[in-house]
Amino acid sequence: MSADPLAVTRNASEAVTIAFGSSIPLQAYLAVAALLFCTGVWGLINSRNAVRVLMSIELMLNAVNLNLMAFSDYLDGQLIRGQVFAIFVITVAAAEAAVGLAILLSLYRNRETVDMERFNLLRW
């Protein structure tokens, strides 16, 4: 009966997972992610500080990650490919933040400002 004490724990945790699985609808996560993404887009368009633009990009990436994780848990519970994708997104986001802030630092040395309205060299 108690030959495998881990089995009891595992069964209990499975029961908890199942009981937890269905009390929040998938659409709630999607709505939160959509709101986060739209906030990020608005900040990306309207920020005048270049650092805030980078922060808005991070917000958008996080919204995408939340979507991936929600789909992974609700629709792909066995293979959880969404979690793997989320890890890759986190990796790319870290690289993007490092390079973006380095570019920002270089821009600041050249132009002495972080005002996005003054970075208008490519304006037609």
Partner 1 sequence: MTIASIIQQLCFLTLAAVVVLGALGVVLLPNIVYSAFLLGGVFLGMAGLYLLLNASFVAAAQILVYVGAVNVLILFAIMLVNKKENLAVIPGLLLRRLLSGGVCAGLFVLLLRVAFTTHWALPGPQPVGEEATIRIGEHLFSDYLLPFELASVLLLMAMIGAIVLARRDVFSSDVITGEPVDQGLIEKTRQPLLIDSTAAAGQPLLETTP
Residue selected from 5, 77, 122, 124 as contacting partner 1 according to rule CB under 8 A: 77
Query: In angstroms, what is the minimal distance from the CB of 3 to partner 1?
Result: 21
Residue selected from 5, 6, 11, 37 as contacting partner 1 according to rule CB under 8 A: 37
* Residue 35: C-alpha distances to residues 23, 27, 53, 59, 87 (Å): 21, 12, 17, 10, 22
Decide if residue 84 touches partner 1 (CB under 8 A).
Answer: yes
Residues in Cβ contact with 47 at an 8 Å cutoff, skipping those fewer than 6 apart:
53, 56, 116
Q: In terms of CB distance, is 1 or 123 closer to partner 1?
A: 123
Decide if residue 23 touches partner 1 (CB under 8 A).
Answer: yes
Asked whether the CA dihedral 105, 110, 114, 117 is positive or negative, the reply is negative
Decide if residue 98 touches partner 1 (CB under 8 A).
Answer: yes
Decide if residue 105 touches partner 1 (CB under 8 A).
Answer: yes
Decide if residue 8 touches partner 1 (CB under 8 A).
Answer: no
Distance CA 21, CA 73 (A): 9
